[in-house]
Amino acid sequence: MPKKILILGGGVGGVVAAKRIAERVRGRADVEITLINDTDYYLLPPLLVNIALGDIEPKQAQLPLSLLERRGVKIVRAKVTKIDPDNRVVETDQGKFNYDYLLASLGVENDFVSYNLGVGYHNYTLDGALKLREALRSFTGGKVVIVAPEPIYRCGVYPFEFACQLDTLFRKRGIRDRTSITLLYPFNKPVEPLGPEASRISEEIAAKKRCRMRRWH
Of 96, 95, 98, 127, nearest to 110 by C-alpha is 127
Q: Residue 174 and residue 204: Cα distance in Å, rounded?
A: 23
195 contact partners, CB below 8 Å, separation of at least 6: none
Q: Along the 217 residues of the chain, how does pLDDT read in single tens digits?
A: 899 999 999 999 999 999 999 999 998 889 999 999 999 999 999 999 999 999 999 999 999 999 999 999 999 999 999 999 999 999 999 999 999 999 999 988 777 777 666 678 988 889 999 999 999 999 999 999 998 877 666 777 888 999 999 999 999 999 999 999 999 988 888 888 889 999 999 999 999 999 999 988 6
Q: Selecting from 3.40.50.2000, 3.40.720.10, 3.40.1280.10, 3.50.50.60, what CATH number does the domain 3-104 have?
A: 3.50.50.60
**Looking at the domain 139-215, which fold is it?**
FAD/NAD(P)-binding domain (3.50.50)
